[in-house]
Amino acid sequence: MPTAEQLERLLSDLESDQVERKESLDKEKIRQAICAFANDLPGHGSEGFVFVGVTDSGDPAGLPITERLLITLADMRSDGNILPIPSLTVQKATVKGVDIAVVQVHPSDTPPVRFKGQVWIRVGPRRAIATIEEERRLSERRIAGTRTFDFRPCPGATIDDLVAEPFRGEYLPRIVAADVIAENRRSLEEQLASLRFYDIRGGSPTHAGLLVFGRDPLPFVPGAYIQFVRFDGTTLADPVQDSKEIAGNLATQLSRLDDLLPLQIHSARVASSGLRHKEEPDYPLVAMRELVLNAVMHRTYEGANSPVRINWFTDRVEILNPGGLYGQVTADTYERICDYRNPVIAEAMKVLGYVDRFGTGIARAKAALQRNGNPPVEFVFEPAYVLATVRRRP
């Protein structure tokens, strides 16, 4: 974060395209500004700043900078309205003896970034919606060497390996504004490329394109499935009651999981009050769903042909995903810090409706387990995998 003197200089530069000032907490316009700074159309390669509690002339407006306001600003990073997830920090600062809030936004490695389906950019000192040409420039700025695995082109795959109708008919209208779709009249390849599912230069789908919309991703990504096994006992040596390989593209896998998980949970009828009874499940569905979705989102596909594994024993459930903790996340910070090995897939899961907001799944799972009377989830973090163990309700 800049010093107080640097902040004052930024505030006084009324022509800067790296500064936006807001007198009050205007959530819509602040999110637009965050989106625009993340896109960094001018190519500064440096941060943009949104000052909250500051007039257009650069003077403090006297807005109370409360903890609630700072939390509201910080939540704009992960509430799913801006995709891909922007990188930003929020801090209270004192300028001219008055407190203000400062949102520091870092340029995205994977533009274009959208807010409510629209690509916002900075044009001089104002915001604007990107034209087709400006969006194309943002797309071409991506550097292949810095791409995540899901963003890289998949060797040997072609456009024919994708199922176009779910993308055009269901996915695209959820993430891109209807007027933008109507005006652009792009080819299928261009539409896919704008959302990081296709590589125009290479002429092939990205790994995310294959994983989310592929007809059959397994020939290209052998570990792209979920292995479910239910044992009649407490060890891997006990008899198998049920075994399923959940394959297909991501939308198919997640839909099958939604059908499978409720069938595995057993409920007991216990007396409540008077003649009433209540159902007590051995596992809360919301917790199991969140933990499995977390494993699917954060698993590694690169250098590993292993699936996500769900082993359902009589006394516990073990959920194992290939790949250890990623990026900034450690065993001490995994509940508070988010980082994404597969940012395009994470975005797709949000658009498909399987993620409400980023970074809260583990907390929701823990809360559901506690309400249901289950022991806390146990995590084992290793370089090659993460294992989550949920114990049956006593």
CATH of residue 61's domain is: 3.30.950.30
Residue 136 lies in a domain: no
- Asked if residue 221 belongs to a domain, the reply is no
Q: Residue 3 pLDDT > 60, yes or no?
A: yes
Query: Considering its fold, how many domains does the chain have in total?
Result: 3
Of 373, 375, 380, nearest to 390 (Cα)? 375
Q: Are residues 312 and 171 in the same domain?
A: no
**Judgement on whether residues 362 and 284 belong to the same structural domain of the protein:** yes
Q: Is 105 a domain residue? A: yes
In a domain, 134, yes or no: no
Considering only residues 340 and 1, tell me which one the structure prediction assigns the higher pLDDT: 340
> What pLDDT shows up at residue 358?
74
The last residue of a domain, from among 75, 97, 129: 129
Last residue in a domain, options 129, 163, 198 = 129
| Assigned token pair, 184 | 């652009």
Q: What share of the chain is helix, strand, coil (3-state, %, to 5)?
A: 35, 25, 40
Confidence of residue 133 (pLDDT cuts 50, 70, 90): confident
- Given the DSSP bridges, would you call strands 308-312 and 226-231 parallel, antiparallel or unpaired? parallel
Q: What is the pLDDT of residue 313?
A: 97
pLDDT of the residue at 146: 58
- Of 284, 304, 350, 298, whose CA–CA distance to 329 is shortest? 298
Higher pLDDT residue, 201 or 297?
297
pLDDT of the residue at 232: 96
Q: Is residue 123 domain-shared with residue 151, that is, in the same domain?
A: no
Residue-level pLDDT at 334: 84
| pLDDT of the residue at 270 | 64
Q: Is 218 inside a domain boundary?
A: no
d(CA 170, CA 168): 6
Task: Return the bridge partners of 153, or none.
Answer: 206
- On average, the pLDDT of the chain sits at 89
Are 385 and 240 in the same domain? yes
State whether 230 and 377 are in the same domain. yes
pLDDT in tens, 170-225: 999 988 888 777 777 788 999 999 899 999 888 999 999 999 999 999 999 999 99
| Confidence category of residue 267, pLDDT binned at 50, 70, 90 | confident
Give how far the C-alpha of residue 100 lies from the chain's centroid of Cα atoms, to the nearest Å: 29
Mean pLDDT of 221-232: 96
Most confident of 40-49, 140-149, 245-254, 336-345: 245-254
146/125 same-domain check:
no
Residue 369 and residue 270 share a domain: yes
Regarding whether 386 and 269 lie in a shared domain, the answer is yes
Measured CA to CA, the distance from residue 32 to residue 49 in angstroms comes to: 12
Lowest mean pLDDT among 158-162, 300-304, 347-351: 300-304
On whether both 148 and 197 belong to a single domain, the answer is: yes
Query: What is the reported pLDDT for 273?
Result: 59
SS3 1: coil
Residue 295 burial (C-beta neighbours within 10 Å; 0-12, 13-18, 19+): buried
One domain, residues 272 and 352? yes
Instruction: Specify the pLDDT at position 91.
Output: 93
pLDDT at 272: 61
In the predicted structure, residue 145 carries a pLDDT above the cut 50 = no
Q: Lowest mean pLDDT: which of 32-36, 134-138, 291-295, 351-355?
A: 134-138
In a domain, 137, yes or no: no
Predicted pLDDT of residue 274: 58
Contact yes or no for 25/33 (Cβ under 8 A) = no
Lowest mean pLDDT among 49-53, 71-75, 303-307: 303-307
Q: Report the pLDDT averaged over residues 283-287.
A: 96
In a domain, 67, yes or no: yes
Residue 53 falls inside a structural domain: yes
pLDDT digits (tens, 9 = 90+) for 9-36: 888 877 678 899 999 999 999 999 999 9
- CA dist., res. 54 & res. 92, Å (int): 12
Give the CATH number of the domain where residue 294 resides: 3.30.565.60
- Domain hosting residue 96, numbered range: 4-129
pTM of the model: 0.72
Residue where one domain finishes, among candidates 213, 243, 258: 213
Q: According to the model, what pLDDT value does residue 277 have?
A: 63
Predicted pLDDT of residue 144 = 44
Whether 19 and 55 share a structural domain: yes
Are residues 148 and 93 both part of a single domain? Answer: no
